Amino acid sequence: MAVNDAPLVDGIYLSWDQEEGDVQVSLPPSGDDLLHISARVGGQPRWLCLNIALGETAFEPGAVFGVVAGLQGCAGETLRMFVRTSREGETTDTPLSEEIAGSREATVQVTMHRLTASEGLVGAPGFHTLVVDLPFHDFDLVLHDMHLFVLQSGKALGVMPTTLGNFT
């Protein structure tokens, strides 16, 4: 049984709203998989998240932050992700422009987000945590594998498609 805000392993933990929701999370054995989450959700929690500490680093504008996730479960759900940055006592959230879609079948998904100068993730070194929003109802999710990557500015040219939105 998982405990709210308690590490599953160093740097990875689940968190949820205990005031508005009743969340029971078990972590069935997952074999070669990274993580299997089985959650029973009651009430109306305001948040239920998987948190992955990225550590202290600095990101530059123009870099591409990417997630490659092999997963199964949460079919029909969209799993929104953001990076929470803590710097000098202040916290900011940078929503990633692409989301992960739940699936009945095992699938591998790649998401990429080009960083802009106005995002909290960019700037002086800070402590960063990747946060994955989980469903507010009963679910099972198997995370088979996950890789995070950053393509530094200049090396990421041509990675993201050019659209009119790139010029805002």
- Whole-model pTM: value is 0.89
Q: Give me the domain span that covers residue 58.
A: 7-156
Q: Is 162 left (phi over 0), alpha (psi -120 to 50) or beta?
A: beta
Per-residue pLDDT of the chain (168 residues; tens, 9 = 90+): 888 889 898 999 999 999 999 999 999 987 899 999 999 999 999 999 999 999 999 999 999 999 999 999 999 999 999 999 999 999 999 999 999 999 999 999 999 999 999 999 999 999 999 999 999 999 999 999 999 999 998 765 555 555 555 554
The answer to the question of residue 166 being in a domain is: no
The answer to the question of residue 88 being in a domain is: yes
Distance CA 115, CA 96 (A): 9
The answer to the question of residue 72 being in a domain is: yes
The answer to the question of residue 2 being in a domain is: no
The answer to the question of residue 1 being in a domain is: no
CATH of the domain at 63: 2.60.120.260
Q: How many domains does the chain have?
A: 1
Among 78, 77, 115, residue whose Cα is nearest residue 95: 115
